Amino acid sequence: MNYAVLIPARAGSVRLKNKNLRNLGNKKLISWTINFAEKLTSKKKIFISTDCQKIINLFKKKVIIIKRPKHLSTSKSSTEAVIDHFVKKTKNFFDFLILLQPTSPFRSLSSLKVAIKMFKRYEVNIISVSRFTKEDLKKPVFVIGKKKIIKKSQIKIKLFQKIINKKLHFINGNFYILSLKKFNKKKVISYKFIPLIEKHKKNKLDIDTLKDLQKANKFIN
């Protein structure tokens, strides 16, 4: 089965300006994801979907650039619309897609390889998740086994113990493995999927604020 790695990286960001090009350690935030993808597969299978000219200039020799139109580069643009644009540009050449968000700089290569094997065996979407803890109160969560998505609303602290007892997990954004044969612009989490549990704390980090970036820097220092 043939697959591609897609890194979505638009220019604008609401809470942390130019976050994809911020420095994390001695390299750009997006470089962490590109370097990881290079360990996974060849250059001809790694794509960046972006409207950012600086990202294009910096990385056009390392990956394949998918120039994203402005109407798919706003804060309201959906991941599904970006994937659909990618599919059209690549003429649906790939069987499945590994989506890596540049805001998740830390990943386990062995975990992703396990996920790829799972996908090839079951042909069901595989999504990275983490165990729900007190610091994750505003995350969307679901029950392992039932794979039921709970509405993205803040969970009151008094309900925290009940949540822990139910062993809830949340989608951490670390990676998504998605079938392109079955893709039809629906929300990727609305499909049947197998959750792959990521146990390492740093791998659930999704950088959206300056505080998140500072936390990430602590992991590498």
The domain defined by 3-131+171-220 folds into Spore Coat Polysaccharide Biosynthesis Protein SpsA; Chain A (3.90.550)
Q: Where are the domains of the chain?
A: 3-131+171-220
Enter the pTM of the model: 0.86
Tens digit of pLDDT for each residue in 164-211?
445 677 788 899 999 988 787 666 665 678 888 888 989 999 999 999
Q: Which of 13-17, 91-95, 109-113 has the highest mean pLDDT?
A: 109-113
- Find the mean pLDDT for residues 50-78: 93
The CA distances from residue 120 to 101, 160, 172, 175, 185, in Å, are 22, 36, 22, 16, 22
Grouping H, G, I as helix, E, B as strand and the rest as coil, residue 96 is: strand
pLDDT of residue 184: 72
Q: What is the pLDDT of residues 19-44, one digit of tens each?
A: 999 999 999 999 999 999 999 999 99
